[in-house]
Amino acid sequence: MLSEKSRPVIEATLPIIGERISHITPKFYSRLFAAHPELLDGLFSRANQNNGTQQQALAGSIAAFASHLVNNPGTLPEAVLARIAHKHTSLGIVEEQYGIVYEHLFAAIAEDLGDAVTTEVAEAWTEVYWLMADALIKIEKGLYAKQANNKIWTDWKLVSKEEAGTGSITFRFVPADDTPVTVAEPGQFVSVRVALSDGIRQCRQYTLSDSATSTTERVITTKFDEGGEVSPFMHRNLSVGDVIELSNPYGDLTIDTTGAPIVLATAGIGCTPSASALATLAAAGSDRRVLVLHAEATEDAWALKEQMRESVDALPNAELRLWLEDINAKAEDTEATEGYMSLKGLDLPADARLYLCGPLPFMRAVRSQAIDAGIPATHIHYEVFGPDLWLAA
């Protein structure tokens, strides 16, 4: 917990740090990569650096952590820390790197705030940083220990590459060696690391899109136009027989395959965790009640249409509802509602657990509708690959 000495200092300086943190983080990354350019090879995403996503995520996490310490003495924001830790471990972040980050982050704070960073202020924010870092290190060590192997990256061979809706492709990989394979859970993701044309390795995280519990294959479905470098490279350059690196499975948004009814609400390529959960439930012969809600611009763009429909048909208590922005382009045998997804008028299962995945505006809207419909906020789960502080609003 935050010391009594530091708490008033953090409380007094949090507004200015919160206001300036988005200016501090670009200075931090500039210093970090000048001193350690190797971190851009296989760890940090150049695309996220260029579009500001990484800076925003770091700024948001630090400000949110400090705010939690001030407003909730004696506790830590476990959910936020877990989400960060799962992403860190999928990239191979190690304890020693926290010291490197500290050095360059606090140099950037001093550069930006100048004389305002007194010894008292520096000591208080140092305490905040190491409280956060130590909590993450502890969680991450536990996550690494749960894996079936002690490797960050293992080789997997591409055995199938198939179109999956307009602009999306499903990739199936099998192990390329005898490294023990960790059993995943529906909703988890793996990081993919590839060497681009300039020789620099880049990573991206993808949710598993078929039965997650397999130890003989990993299946991911990617959209070409995602604003990064890895998906286009995979679409254009990967061929059947190629070997690339995958991480072990991580992710704290796991979809429970037993228990209360579930509602899976997704949009666009966000259907991947829903498809994985449905395939896992179908393979287990589940009789759980499942309401599947999906939204697309057009039916042709629905990346995992056939897989999801087959899984729903195989489940005795599953129902599928579809929304299309352009309903005129739908196939004749597909029932759909025109427009954006709406929960109004739906018979939502009592005590349902709602899982959301898709663009932020979509999740924000559906989450609000779900709360209005009486689903407790504690029963609503989501995954965001990027800053997600909007959920605190």
Which residues are identified as catalytic? Answer: 98, 140
Q: How far apart are the first and last CA of the chain?
A: 24
Cβ atoms of residues 83 and 140 within 8 Å: no
Q: What is the 3-state secondary structure (H, E, C) of the chain?
A: CCCCCCHHHHHHHHHHHHHHHHHHHHHHHHHHHHHCHHHHCCCCCHHHHHHCHHHHHHHHHHHHHHHHHHHCCCCCCHHHHHHHHHHHHHHCCCCHHHHHHHHHHHHHHHHHHHHHCCHHHHHHHHHHHHHHHHHHHHHHHHHHHCCCCCCCEEEEEEEEEEECCCCEEEEEEEECCCCCCCCCCCCCEEEEEEECCCCCEEEEEEEECCCCCCCCCEEEEEECCCCCCHHHHHHHHCCCCCEEEEECCECCCCCCCCCCCEEEEEEHHHHHHHHHHHHHHHHCCCCCCEEEEEEECCHHHCCCHHHHHHHHHHCCCEEEEEEECCHHHCCCCCCCEECCCCCCCCCCCCCCEEEEECCHHHHHHHHHHHHHCCCCHHHEEECCCCCCHHHHC
Nearest 5°: phi and psi at 121? -65, -45
Contact 252, 140 (CB under 8 A): no
Contact 357, 304 (CB under 8 A): no
How many CA atoms does the CB half-sphere of 386 hold within 13 Å? 15
Amino acid symbol at 179: T
Q: What is the CA radius of gyration of the chain?
A: 22
